[in-house]
Structure 1
Amino acid sequence: MKRFPVFIAAVLILAACEGRNPVANGANDVAGLPDIATNAPDPESGPPENASAAADAAPIPAGADPPAPGARIPAALQGRWGMVPGDCTSTRGDAKGLLTISADQLRFYESRAVPGSDVEGDGNSVRGTFNFTGEGQEWTRFVTLRAEGNRLTRTESNPTASYNYVKCA
């Protein structure tokens, strides 16, 4: 009977030493925050002069920001990116680490994300709130994507996590 508590303690110690961590050691684990020092538009002034309605816009998750009118993901980020080599070569549809980026969305294994109204980018990075849908769920998350050569780092906040990808050939 006295051995049972010792056994339980040993199992708990071993479980606490488990080294699995989804964040890569070299990943940038800090996401830039949006600039909140800008003035809000006046709601009584109406829409801006250059505003136009998009007839073929994808549905926006409830409570999410609408996509920015010209929100485009930079060309350097577009393409297929894999967490492991098998993600780029799978023919069975089981590439769970594959991220496909187009000019207007991110596609994951079982979800997709479209840029929100605050998304900003430059030649090799983009950051802002993305509206996600997948598996019957809808959510928003602040995401930073940064490409350096054939490597891509995706950093999310709330909760904070970083993921590394390599460009598929």
Structure 2
Amino acid sequence: MKQERGQAGTHWRNAGFLSMRAMILLPLLALAACGDKPGEQPGIATNIVDEAMNEVQQVPEGANGMQTAEPAPEMPSSVAPVGSTIPASVQGRWAGLDESCADRATELELTITPTSLVFLESEGKATGVSHGPDGRIRIDAAFTGEGQSWNRKLELHPSASGRELTVIDDGRAVTRKRCS
């Protein structure tokens, strides 16, 4: 009786089990053979930073009004803050030179009120405003944005026509056009 069971089990293994095993393993082997590189899947970014860096294009300096600025000469110590009100000549809404004024969420969006500088993701409340030579305006401001707070000194250089405004922040100058 024991021999019959052994033969019956062997028959089952030989006939159905091997074909079942092959049915499971063939698709897995096919998938393994399809990959470009071992461990990688084509079209899937495993490192977003590396993927993004492959698509970076060099932008010529000055594109959209951004450029490195020479450090501005310090304002004479005799120039004291005249208060915390930003002059009316620079108040209004500003956008990047190549941006549309109709788009209210552009990267270089800036709204200047009598007491604050409102950027796309941060707002600075003016704590001191000084006037320098050649129409420069220095604004000391307490900023908040994205759950953080910091203090910053910005220099504003309005153009003679008042249609453009260059904002210098940490050695980076950005020129914007007046929208309103």
| SS in structure 2 of the partner of residue 76 of structure 1 | helix
With over 3 angstroms needed to count, the CA separation of the structure-2 counterparts of 1:31 and 1:137, relative to structure 1, is farther
Provide the C-alpha distance between the structure 1 equivalents of 2:173 and 2:66, rounded to a whole number of angstroms: 9
Q: 2:90 aligns with which of 60, 70, 77?
A: 77
1:95 to partner: Cα distance: 2.0
Aligned-residue sequence identity (percent) comes to 26
Q: Structure 1 residues 129, 34: CA separation in 2 closer, same or farther (over 3 Å shift)?
A: farther
Q: Aligned to 2:142, which of 126, 131, 135?
A: 131
Highest relative contact order (Cα 8 Å, sep 6+), 1 or 2? 1
- TM-score after normalising by structure 1: 0.57
Q: Which residue of structure 2 aligns with residue 8 of structure 1?
A: none
Structure 2 unmatched runs, 5+: 1-53
Over residues 53-93 of structure 1, what are the superposed CA-to-partner deviations in whole Å (9 max), with x where a residue is unaligned? xxxxxxxxxxxxxxx79311111100011014544111xx5
TM-score of the two chains, using structure 2 as the length reference: 0.54
**Structure 1 unaligned blocks of 5 or more:** 1-13, 39-67
CA shift, 1:27, in A, is: 7.1
Q: Choose which of 69, 72, 87 in structure 2 pairs with 1:31.
A: 72
Aligned partners of 1:27 and 1:153 also within 8 Å: no
- Higher gyration radius (CA): 2
- Note if 1:153 corresponds to 2:153: no
- Residues 26 and 133 (structure 1), Cα distance of their counterparts in 2 relative to 1, 3 Å cut: closer
Alpha-carbon deviation of 1:107? 0.4
What are the residue-to-residue correspondences of 1:48-63 with 2, within 5 Å? Answer: none
CA distance in 2, matches of 1:125, 1:37: 15
Q: Where do 1:83-122 residues align within 5 Å?
A: 83-90=96-103, 93-117=104-128, 119-121=129-131
Task: Kindly indicate which of the two structures has a greater share of residues assigned to helix.
Answer: 2
Provide the aligned C-alpha RMSD in A.
3.4
CA distance in structure 1 between the partners assigned to 2:95 and 2:77 by the alignment: 34
- Number of aligned positions between the proteins: 121
Distance 1:25 1:103, change over 3 A: closer
CA-to-aligned-CA distance 1:87-121 (integer Å, 9 cap, x gap): 4111xx5322110001110000011111224x313
Q: Deviations over 1:131-154 (max 9, x none)?
A: 111010111112101111201000
